[in-house]
Copies of this chain bind each other. A is one copy, B any other.
Amino acid sequence: MKVVFEGRKFRVLSGEVTLPSGKRVIRDIVDFGKSVVILPIKGDDVFIIRQYRPAVGDWIYELPAGTLEEGEDPLECAKRELVEEIGYEAGKLEPMFRMYLSPGYSNEYMYAYLATQLEYVGEKPEYGEEIRVVRMSFDEALDMVRNGLVEDAKSIATILYYAFFIRGGEGDI
């Protein structure tokens, strides 16, 4: 495959791909790499952010998240993004699950972490990130998923994974 676009956060590859059957097809692929999403839990509360996203032209509710820097491992990245975006350091960061975001055209692969034992150290927003931090009860966050106020796939998946498999009491990860 050939690099047809080289951007700031991703590049685009294009060319012929051989499928398992031997068939050949032309595909365009977003080469994005790895990322993290973090569920920050403090007692019965969760921190969600409301962030302006130029790609969709709107403010949306999301969990804190970010992209791995060169050479960074997912755990370090989760630690860093949590401080940058909500201003809390996590005493405990546990892996929950992993997911492709748009495997039809992007290789983005995301690690979901549960962050607990949170201590406030102050936000460090990156230039161009317009973020408001919202602290609410986890039950309110669940209602926002149910009612369609949270419209972000990684956040819906992560909130519900925690609600269904961890918080319910079955709960070891």
- The majority secondary structure among interface residues of chain A is mixed
User: Is B98 a contact partner of A101 (Cβ separation < 8 A)?
Assistant: no
Which of the four size classes fits the interface of chain A?
Answer: 35 or more
Residues of chain B within 8 A of A109, CB atoms compared: 56
Partner of A153 from the list B27, B55, B101 (CB cut-off 8 Å) is B101
User: Is B23 a contact partner of A55 (Cβ separation < 8 A)?
Assistant: no
From residue A41, how far is it (CB to closest CB) to chain B in Å?
Answer: 17
CB interface residues, A 26-48, toward B, < 8 Å:
26-30, 32
Q: Digit string of A148-173 for contact with B (CB within 8 Å is 1, else 0)? A: 10011110110011011100000000
User: Is A164 a contact partner of B163 (Cβ separation < 8 A)?
Assistant: yes
A110 and chain B: residue at smallest CB distance: B153
Residues of chain B within 8 A of A108, CB atoms compared: 102
Among the 9-residue stretches A11-19, A85-93, A114-122, A133-141, the one with 4 or more Cβ atoms under 8 Å from chain B is A11-19
Supposing A8-B28, A19-B128, A100-B56 touch, asked if A153 and B157 sit within 8 A by C-beta, the answer is yes
User: Is A98 a contact partner of B165 (Cβ separation < 8 A)?
Assistant: no
Supposing A156-B157, A164-B160 touch, asked if A56 and B128 sit within 8 A by C-beta, the answer is no
